[in-house]
Amino acid sequence: MMKHTFIETRTGAGRVVHTANSAFVARTWFGLNFEECVAGSVKEVKVIRTYGDSQEPNESAECIALNRGLLEEGRTIFDSFETDGEGEQKGRRMRRFGEGMRSATQTGAYSGHHVHAGLDWDALGDATVVDIDLPGSYLGLPVQDFAGLEPQFDATLPADLKDRVTFQAHDFFKEQPVRGADVYFMKHILHDWSDKYFLKILRAIVPAMKDGSRIVVMDGVLPPPGTAALPMERLLTALDLQMVTALNAKEWSREE
């Protein structure tokens, strides 16, 4: 109530209704945070005592909490999302995660507006842009992501873009298959990974680049402590902690 996720119809009315905020988070973020993130958060201290300042995603608190054969090197929470459940419920966590990321592009700092405003795309001319991203921005040709998210991509892609934008299943730790693109674009991808894996992702793109190719990164930047409004600083700190809990990753400062 204090964060205006829900609100009274009028002061003292005793009747609580949804707001745009709760409508945004109800289906995806509540489930994701309560089922996965909270489970990891309660084990974070124990995991730090056990593994120290680990950069391995399979040693994250969330992986330990879900405990579904994820302790092998190279496994991540996303592996759990893809394989969780049986029958029609198989992969439900990954579908929910995809829905959450897609919803996030419709509001605030995650809005696609910042993608369009942040770079002079028109100056690229007749360019090839590879969007190494979750379905949502529709800038890339192709859009690359987990194979399991292709049905969601097909269901949400506007009809007038189907002849220009395609989905391509791709593991971004392996060499980039689209060679010679003008831009390789990553929106809220690199903050999911520790420095060790962040570098592996970038090194997998470099062999595909031509002279003049660019890697464009859209990620949050942590402001120096005490320089942002308190609600924003609290939100960004919580996001930073969530990256640690889920993947042993982090948000970066401008200097980092």
Closest C-alpha to 93, from 75, 77, 72, 71: 77
Closest C-alpha to 39, from 75, 67, 73, 71: 67
The answer to whether 96 touches 31, Cβ cutoff 8 Å, is yes
Residues annotated as catalytic (active site), given as ranges: 191
Contacts of 122 (CB under 8 A, 6+ apart): none
Tracing tokens 């390789």 back to the chain, one arrives at: 184
Beta bridge partners of 132: 144
